[in-house]
Amino acid sequence: MKPILKYTAYTLLLSAVTLSACKQQFLDLGPQGVYSESDLLSKKGVDGFLIDAYATLDGSQAANFLGFSGSYNWIWGSIAGGDAYKGGTNFTDQSEINQAMQYATPSTNSQLLARWNGIFDGIGRANIVLQALAKTTDPALTDALKKQVAAEARFLRAFHHFEGKKIFGNIPFVDEKATDYKIPNTDASGNYINIWPQLETDFKFAYDNLDEVKTGKGRVNKWTAGAYLAKAYLYQNKFTEAKALFDVIIGQGKTSQGVKLDLTANFGENFRIATQNSKEAMFEVQSAIGDGASDNTNGFREAILCYPNGIAGGTNSWFYRPSQNLVNAFRTDENGLPLLNTYNDVDVTSNETVPDASPFTPYSGNLDPRLDHTVDVGAFLIWTGA
């Protein structure tokens, strides 16, 4: 009996050790659905970071549906600039946009905060790409490919800083080495720090290193970066540098698909789905609908409420309404040239408040035909009575 008991004891001990080892192994399993750092620092992981940085251009990651924080920028561009009025069902609908239109925007304005968040979210995600590039050892990421990825990320970082500079003025420059979110925009003497040199450096790096043609629609190429660098020159009154660069772009530039940059034969092609990413497109943000996402959340939702009449439920839902100032700007002389200083002396007539049964005399002067697509067909009928 004793040997049997002895063997039984060994068996039980071995079973206990095995169960203990299995239990320890079970507890050491990594969490499901979580990427490891090695996964993220691979070629696929870095490209995922870059795609995520591009995704910030629509602002949807930084705000909810009614936080208009993307690069469409219709509030802080067209409405604040006088090209459009804020529409809606009534004056109180999205009332904070009225403050932008009236040049009376307080720091508590939630749309202003959403735009700030959208800009710095984009900057932060571009910096994540650069941080990942510095750590990766994946041989699939060759030096040449790393340079392309870095150039795209630095373009996006400069793009968002440029947007912040235009809207907020003296913002700080945040690079991939920042360790504190509290970055001052003044120096030790209290003077505002000029970030134009950093913007130029990023755009210049992208211009010098990006390929002329990129695989994948929406990816910035050499000429996209060059155009934004030239635009940055314009904002600083560096007209000589801007013209020299624009001349090169006009002469040699290509779209991201390799098509020679040029004006389309029909201006309306810029506004049609069938002709998107045309030869006139320097930089187009890509969106998608019908891809399975709930409520078409990948379809650039910010633009839904400022599309032409009928797209978002009729005129009552349309927050972006063309201004009289914009329409008047399409008045021309007999040679078709714009009236730079006198375009607002006469209003292009509108039948918006004229009853359908009442007579109406459309504007009879010269108009740039691009007014039709710029203001949109629905609004154009209102302004011209066509």
d(CA 87, CA 70): 19
pTM of the model: 0.85
- Domain assignment of residue 32, yes or no: no
Query: Which residue is listed with tokens 């650069």?
Result: 130
Alpha-carbon torsion, ordered 87, 89, 94, 99, to 10 deg: 50
- What CATH number does the domain containing 115 carry? 1.25.40.390
CA 122, CA 161: separation in Å to the nearest integer?
9
pLDDT for 382: 39
Instruction: Looking at the structure, tell me whether residues 254 and 338 fall in a common domain.
Output: no
pLDDT digits (tens, 9 = 90+) for 57-75: 987 766 554 557 788 888 8
The lowest-confidence range among 28-32, 105-109, 156-160, 166-170 is 28-32
Task: State the residue range of the domain holding 50.
Answer: 37-285+305-322
**DSSP class of 173:** P
- Same domain, residue pair 45 and 146: yes
pLDDT at position 233 is 98
- Judge if 179 and 280 occupy the same domain: yes
Residue 65 lies in a domain: yes
End-to-end Cα, the chain, rounded Å: 110
In degrees, rounded to 5, the angle at the alpha carbon of residue 228 between the alpha carbons of residues 227 and 229 is 90
Which whole number is the average pLDDT over 157-174? 96
Give the DSSP H/E element, type plus range, for residue 84. Answer: strand 84-86
Stretch among 214-228, 255-269, 303-317 having the lowest mean pLDDT = 303-317
Of residues 242 and 297, more confidently modeled: 242
Percent of the chain with pLDDT over 90: 50
The H or E element containing residue 321 is: strand 320-322
User: What number is the average pLDDT over the span 25-48?
Assistant: 76
Q: Is residue 290 part of a domain?
A: no
Q: Domain for residue 23, yes or no?
A: no
Name the β-bridge partners of 86.
320
What's the pLDDT band for 383 if we cut at 50, 70, 90? Answer: very low
Could you tell me if 231 and 339 lie in one domain?
A: no
Q: Could you tell me the two tokens for 216?
A: 């994948």
In this structure, are 252 and 110 located in the same domain? Answer: yes
Rounded CA-CA distance 103/80 in Å is 7
Residue 5 lies in a domain: no
Do 96 and 51 have their domain in common?
yes
> What pLDDT is recorded for position 213?
93
Regarding whether 317 and 358 lie in a shared domain, the answer is no
Q: What is the rounded CA–CA span in Å between residue 225 and residue 203?
A: 6
**How many folded domains does the chain comprise?**
2
pLDDT of residue 185: 93
**Over the chain, what is the mean pLDDT?**
84
The share of the chain scoring above pLDDT 70, in percent, equals 82
Q: Indicate if 103 and 127 belong to the same structural domain.
A: yes
Is residue 79, in this structure, part of any structural domain at all?
yes
Give the whole-angstrom CA distance, residue 47 versus residue 148. 11
DSSP secondary structure code for residue 259 in this structure: P
pLDDT surpasses 60 at 261: yes
Is residue 7 domain-resident? no
In a domain, 271, yes or no: yes
Residue 127 has pLDDT above 80, yes or no: yes
